């Protein structure tokens, strides 16, 4: 591969969910002949099932393409795909840092969305050249001019030369390729300087260990080089360098400005952290690249093996997931109610859901996840500060001086007509409004400060439900704030079930307690005795429901000697019992744990 730095173009695609990022990427790969179209799967870049189902990209994929432009030159295009969700903001920012430009894909029928805004601002912070592209122009509901105006007004990006395309129909894809060659600058960087490379992603496989995705900023790297990770200080010998075309293809070396991968017998993903700088161990660069930070989980929950599932299986699966996900943390914990399990930390709610789903689908495990929690800062009367992410560990009230909770800056974009009900929702979730911006005559962005613990319960579901799916949300941590928080406990048949405990604001305790009791009453089957369900703060019961005792469970008729029918019924009954968790005398179905978290439309 003998292209000089001058003809390399490193870029990413920014788009809202469903606006056509993956389809456009597929078309570009197809058009430049990197993959024969018969080998293409739908949406080549999204390779995880969950991502496909949700139509969002979480894990990055990178592709190198060759393009012969109208000016007669052959260009090297490195497409660096970015995740599309707020939970993965940091990963997004690091892949942006590997680029000189970004293609902004906007759906001609939808216009600019909150998620797009957040990522465009990130790209602007990295000084990327932004090339707007209007997609889905083939649809009858496309409003090209309006959307162009929107981009200019809200984002201040000139749309005069914006390609108008339909990624789905393969319309005007060439315009996009030309725009990349023409408008996105070539990578800078000093060939003769010591190696300086940015890690923007990595994955693990059993044979090669960790494969590091990197962008060479200065110098070059080849097989046999001894490299050093500047943040973790670890050194390795490079065993392979290569490009993704999009399949990994090894090359002799990676030069300044290029994007590729290297392997170096690295055992864990946490040893090659996203954002870290790679340099040569013997001839290091002076300064690491800016912007590295260790990602910190914001949301925690307990994950326990469900009845009949082995603890070891869950642990093995969590370990496997962690190898490929430096942002995911876990440690062993024990619950009185659920036995041995794990406390797991996630970047956000989506990240949590993805991990839970992968455990169930990819690893075929049956798990119970407890209520998500944020990290509270508890200042005790003796002046010490404890960080609490499991409600069970909250010190007794008498030892607490005050508690602080994380607050996020939330940007909520909604169609005009829903502003009232969303403001009501935010207020109900203890949000403090800063201001409201009109994007156009139809849409508004609401800027709120909100406690993260209100966001993680069911806020997103409520937002979607109240806006018929049109509302979008993005948030970032703002800081901590003192708050009047209490621990809400749930007692079944007078016995505390720690797995249901949660930390809530005092003003919400009553309604939350009532909701939980009502939900549990719905899902807990009747027993031979009455079961009181109580929600309490300390010793004070604030809500109560009762599951009435079962008086009759008998099948009188056995028709014509049909024993098998009766046996099936009894087998079903026994099977149902197996899926129950035993808390003292009370049997609770697994779904109780999710039922108390679900947003209820009727409420």
State the residues that interact with other proteins by CB under 8 A: 528, 550-564, 566-567, 569-571, 573-574, 577
SS3 assignment for 167-203: CCCCECHHHHHHHHHHHCCCCCCCCCCCCEEEEEEEE
Q: Give the span between the Cα atoms of 470 and 468, in whole angstroms.
A: 6
Q: What backbone phi and psi angles, to 5 degrees, belong to 481? A: -145, 140
User: In the bound complex, what is the minimum distance in angstroms from residue 561's beta carbon to other proteins?
Assistant: 5
Identify which of 478, 484, 480, 492 has the alpha carbon closest to the alpha carbon of residue 448: 478
User: In the bound complex, what is the minimum distance in angstroms from residue 549's beta carbon to other proteins?
Assistant: 9
Residue (293 or 548) nearer to other proteins, CB: 548
User: In the bound complex, what is the minimum distance in angstroms from residue 442's beta carbon to other proteins?
Assistant: 44
Residue (396 or 561) nearer to other proteins, CB: 561
Residue (383 or 560) nearer to other proteins, CB: 560
Residue (417 or 550) nearer to other proteins, CB: 550
Residue (2 or 564) nearer to other proteins, CB: 564
Q: Give the span between the Cα atoms of 339 and 305, in whole angstroms.
A: 9
SS3 assignment for 559-595: HHHCHHHHHHHHHHHHHHHHCEEEECCEEEECCHHHH
* Residue appearing with tokens 């069911």: 458
If one counts every other C-beta atom within 10 angstroms of the C-beta of residue 106, the result is: 29
If one counts every other C-beta atom within 10 angstroms of the C-beta of residue 369, the result is: 23
Structure tokens at 469: 């799916």
Ordered strands of the 367-369 beta sheet: 329-335, 339-346, 299-305, 367-369
Residue (70 or 572) nearer to other proteins, CB: 572
Q: Give the span between the Cα atoms of 243 and 260, in whole angstroms.
A: 4
**Distinct helix (H) and strand (E) counts, the chain:** 13, 32
Residue (226 or 568) nearer to other proteins, CB: 568
User: In the bound complex, what is the minimum distance in angstroms from residue 553's beta carbon to other proteins?
Assistant: 5
Q: Give the span between the Cα atoms of 339 and 53, in whole angstroms.
A: 33
User: In the bound complex, what is the minimum distance in angstroms from residue 527's beta carbon to other proteins?
Assistant: 9
Q: Give the span between the Cα atoms of 256 and 245, in whole angstroms.
A: 18
Residue (99 or 547) nearer to other proteins, CB: 547
User: In the bound complex, what is the minimum distance in angstroms from residue 367's beta carbon to other proteins?
Assistant: 22
User: In the bound complex, what is the minimum distance in angstroms from residue 467's beta carbon to other proteins?
Assistant: 35
User: In the bound complex, what is the minimum distance in angstroms from residue 563's beta carbon to other proteins?
Assistant: 6
User: In the bound complex, what is the minimum distance in angstroms from residue 592's beta carbon to other proteins?
Assistant: 20
Residue (41 or 548) nearer to other proteins, CB: 548
Residue (387 or 563) nearer to other proteins, CB: 563
Q: Give the span between the Cα atoms of 161 and 281, in whole angstroms.
A: 46
Residue (482 or 566) nearer to other proteins, CB: 566
DSSP 503-548: EEEHHHHHHHHHHHHHHHHHHSPP-SS-EEEEEEETTEEEEEEEEP
* Residue appearing with tokens 């109780």: 592
User: In the bound complex, what is the minimum distance in angstroms from residue 580's beta carbon to other proteins?
Assistant: 12
Residue (290 or 578) nearer to other proteins, CB: 578
Angle between helices 173-183 and 21-31 (to 10 degrees): 80
User: In the bound complex, what is the minimum distance in angstroms from residue 472's beta carbon to other proteins?
Assistant: 41
Identify which of 284, 2, 24 has the alpha carbon closest to the alpha carbon of residue 132: 24
**Measured between alpha carbons, how far is residue 515 from residues 140, 521, 534, 599 in Å?**
45, 10, 11, 10
The answer to whether the Cα torsion of 307, 311, 313, 315 is positive or negative is positive
Identify which of 349, 350, 370 has the alpha carbon closest to the alpha carbon of residue 306: 370
User: In the bound complex, what is the minimum distance in angstroms from residue 524's beta carbon to other proteins?
Assistant: 15
Residue (33 or 549) nearer to other proteins, CB: 549
Which residues, including other chains, have CB under 8 Å from residue 4's CB and lie 6 or more apart? none
User: In the bound complex, what is the minimum distance in angstroms from residue 167's beta carbon to other proteins?
Assistant: 49
């Amino acid at each position: 591969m003998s292209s000089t730095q001058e003809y390399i173009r490193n870029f990413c695609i920014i788009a809202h969910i469903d606006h056509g990022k993956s389809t456009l990427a597929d078309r570009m790969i197809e058009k430049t002949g990197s993959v024969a179209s018969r080998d293409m799967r739908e949406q080549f870049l999204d390779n995880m099932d969950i991502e496909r189902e949700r139509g969002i990209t979480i894990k990055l994929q990178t592709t190198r393409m060759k393009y012969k432009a109208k000016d007669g030159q052959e260009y090297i295009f490195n497409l660096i795909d970015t995740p599309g969700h707020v939970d993965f903001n940091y990963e997004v920012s690091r892949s942006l840092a590997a680029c000189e430009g970004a293609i902004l894909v906007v759906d001609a029928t939808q216009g600019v969305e909150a998620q797009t805004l957040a990522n465009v601002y990130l790209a602007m912070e990295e000084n990327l050249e932004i090339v707007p592209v209007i997609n889905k122009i083939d649809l009858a509901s496309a409003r090209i001019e309006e959307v162009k105006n929107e981009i200019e007004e809200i984002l201040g990006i000139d749309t005069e030369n914006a390609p108008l395309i339909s990624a789905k129909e393969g319309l005007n894809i060439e315009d996009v390729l030309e725009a990349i060659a023409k408008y996105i600058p070539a990578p800078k960087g000093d060939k003769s300087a010591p190696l300086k490379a940015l890690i923007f992603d990595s994955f693990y496989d059993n044979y090669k260990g960790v494969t590091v995705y990197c962008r060479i900023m200065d110098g070059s790297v080849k097989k046999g080089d001894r490299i050093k990770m500047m943040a973790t200080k670890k050194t390795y010998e490079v065993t392979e360098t290569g490009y993704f075309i999009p399949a990994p293809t090894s090359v002799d070396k990676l030069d300044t400005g290029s994007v590729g991968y290297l392997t170096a017998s690295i055992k864990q993903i946490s040893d090659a952290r996203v954002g870290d700088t790679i340099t040569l161990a013997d001839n290091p660069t002076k300064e690491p690249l800016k912007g590295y930070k260790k990602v910190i989980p914001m949301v925690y929950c307990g994950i326990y093996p469900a009845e009949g599932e082995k603890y070891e299986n869950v642990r093995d699966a969590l370990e496997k997931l962690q190898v490929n996900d430096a942002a995911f943390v876990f440690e062993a914990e024990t619950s009185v109610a659920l036995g041995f399990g794990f406390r797991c930390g996630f970047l956000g709610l989506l990240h949590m859901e993805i991990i839970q789903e992968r455990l169930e689908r990819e690893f075929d495990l049956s798990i119970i996840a407890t209520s998500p929690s944020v990290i509270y800062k508890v200042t005790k009367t003796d002046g010490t500060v404890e960080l609490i992410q499991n409600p069970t560990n909250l010190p007794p009230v008498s030892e607490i001086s005050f508690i602080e909770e994380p607050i996020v800056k939330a940007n909520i974009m909604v169609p005009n007509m829903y502003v009232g009900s969303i403001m009501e929702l935010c207020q109900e979730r203890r949000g403090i409004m800063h201001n409201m911006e009109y994007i156009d005559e139809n849409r508004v962005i609401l800027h709120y400060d909100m406690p993260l613990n209100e966001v993680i319960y069911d806020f997103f579901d409520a937002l979607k439900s109240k806006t018929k799916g049109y509302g979008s949300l993005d948030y970032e941590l703002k800081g901590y704030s003192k708050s009047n928080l209490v621990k809400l406990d749930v007692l079944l048949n007078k016995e505390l079930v720690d797995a249901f405990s949660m930390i809530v604001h005092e003003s919400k305790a009553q309604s939350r307690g009532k909701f939980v009791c009502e939900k549990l009453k719905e899902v807990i089957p009747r027993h031979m005795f009455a079961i009181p369900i109580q929600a309490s703060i300390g010793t004070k019961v604030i809500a109560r429901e009762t599951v009435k005792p079962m008086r009759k469970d008998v099948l009188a008729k056995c028709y014509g000697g049909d024993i098998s029918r009766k046996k099936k019924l009894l087998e079903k009954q026994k099977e149902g019992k197996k899926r129950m968790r035993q808390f003292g005398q009370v049997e609770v179905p697994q779904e109780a744990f999710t039922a108390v978290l679900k947003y209820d439309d009727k409420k």
